[in-house]
Amino acid sequence: MIDMEISSEQRQIVDSVQNLLADALPYDRFVPRPTPVPNADRAVFTQFGELGVFGLGLAEASGGVGYSLVEEVLVARECGRFLVSPAVVATMIGVHVAHFAGDRSHAEAMMRGGTPVAPALAFAPAATHFAGKYHLADAEGAEWALLWSEGGLALAHRDSWHGAQNMDSIDSTLTLTRVAVKDIMPPLRVPAANGLWRRAQLLVSAYLTGLAEAALDDSVGYAKVREQFQQPIGAFQAVKHRCADMLTRASVAWNSTIFAALTDQAEGPDADFQAIAAKILASDAAFRNAAVNIQNHGAYGFTGEHHAHLFVKRAHFLDRFGGDATYQKRRMLAANAPSSDAERSSPVDGLAG
């Protein structure tokens, strides 16, 4: 069974999320104002909660909706497309961390969307513990921060954020806060060996893929209507070929992400390998498509009046969440190849080897 097509049930989930986002969080919420206005996306987190976004992949017995990682990936991709605060991704993951750590009440509060979780971007993602310096993204109003290092994933309550300092953010729609965490091993945590980091990695990859896809859509839409030299710019081969390359990258990113998610679901021996590859490809697609999209828009793309720049800036945030491309490439080389000899020598394998 190789089924990478979105089922009709999954399509319904995607549609309902898209409807909510198109309604509550359209791009024009980023219309520039004289003074920077951070996003107010957390105002709709309770609506997300009601829709089941935050408990999507948690078993019903645990209070969740009972779908899987795959459905979470589909939702995270839409969040990337709509440039939703990455706190949405951190909250989705946070629910699992709280659940695994046995804290049902906090898990439930997060699922309701009442206690947003801010992504914590580690200054040193290669550390095997959690103490250290972090950047929190969109932490205003957040109750928790999601720490992520080679030690695994952990939730740090806002009371444990030391020396919080607001910095000018590269993305003025996301606040940026420097904090120090002193707990080597916070109580609510999941060790890396558990594999939850893969879920986190794939939600981040899905968000990055959403950025890459939305940048493509933005370019294609513009190329069809914007005229130069009496023809739509999409008729120029240079623009046309750039759009084709954007689709290629977005398609590679998406298929790698969903393939990795399905591998994780099937407990394939190459789940780590695929999750790392997906992040590298999704991050590359997001950065490059975002830059090309600005170029395709010309001077307009360079303004703050259009949202093209936000795809670039969000890519910088998400790239760092869980460790940036430099770090991921190092992990890619350290991972075990999918077609290892061990797998080969087994006459029958559970997953395509």
Partner 1 sequence: MQIEFTSEEMAFRAEARCWLRANVPAGERPIHSDRALDIREFDLEWQRKQFEAGWAGISWPSEYGGRGVSLIEQLIWHEEYARAGAPRAGSCFVGLSHAGPTLIARGTPEQQAFHLPRILRGDTVWCQGFSEPGAGSDLAALGTRAEIDGDELVVNGAKIWTSYAAIADYQELLCRTEAGSRKHSGISWVICPMDTPGIELRPILTMVGPNDFHFCQVFYNDVRIPLANVVGEVNDGWNVANATLGFERGTGFVADQIQNSELVERLIAMARGRCGLDGLSPAIDDGDFASRLAMSRAEMAGVRAMTYATVSRAANANPGPEGSLVKLFFSEASQRLRRLGVDLLGPEALELSSDAGLTTPYLRSYAASIGGGTSDVQRNIIAERVLGLPRAPRP
Q: Which is nearer to a copy of itself, 182 or 241 (CB)?
A: 241
Nearest distance in Å: CB 320, partner 1: 7
Helix or strand run (H / E) with residue 108: helix 104-112
Amino acid (one-letter) located at 46 = T
| Among partner 1, a copy of itself, none, partner that 8 touches (CB below 5 to 8 angstroms by kind) | none
| Among a copy of itself, partner 1, none, partner that 251 touches (CB below 5 to 8 angstroms by kind) | partner 1
Q: Which is nearer to a copy of itself, 126 or 238 (CB)?
A: 238
Q: Which is nearer to partner 1, 20 or 70 (CB)?
A: 70
Considering only CA atoms, which of 75, 315, 69, 319 is closest in space to residue 212? 315
| Among partner 1, a copy of itself, none, partner that 353 touches (CB below 5 to 8 angstroms by kind) | partner 1
As a whole number of angstroms, the distance between CA 10 and CA 65 comes to 13
- The β-bridge relationship of strands 117-122 and 144-149 is parallel
**Which residues 133-192 are close enough to bind a copy of itself by CB under 8 A?**
none
Radius of gyration, alpha carbons of the chain: 20
Nearest distance in Å: CB 251, a copy of itself: 20
105 binds a copy of itself (CB under 8 A): no
**Which residues 225-284 are close enough to bind a copy of itself by CB under 8 A?**
236-238, 241
| Among a copy of itself, partner 1, none, partner that 345 touches (CB below 5 to 8 angstroms by kind) | none
Nearest distance in Å: CB 11, partner 1: 11
As a whole number of angstroms, the distance between CA 344 and CA 91 comes to 39
Place of tokens 């830059």: 291
Helix or strand run (H / E) with residue 157: strand 152-157
**Binding letters toward a copy of itself, positions 9-28, x by CB under 8 A:** --------------------
As a whole number of angstroms, the distance between CA 338 and CA 344 comes to 10
Helix or strand run (H / E) with residue 178: strand 176-181
Q: What does the binding site for a copy of itself look like in residue numbers (CB under 8 A)?
A: 236-238, 241
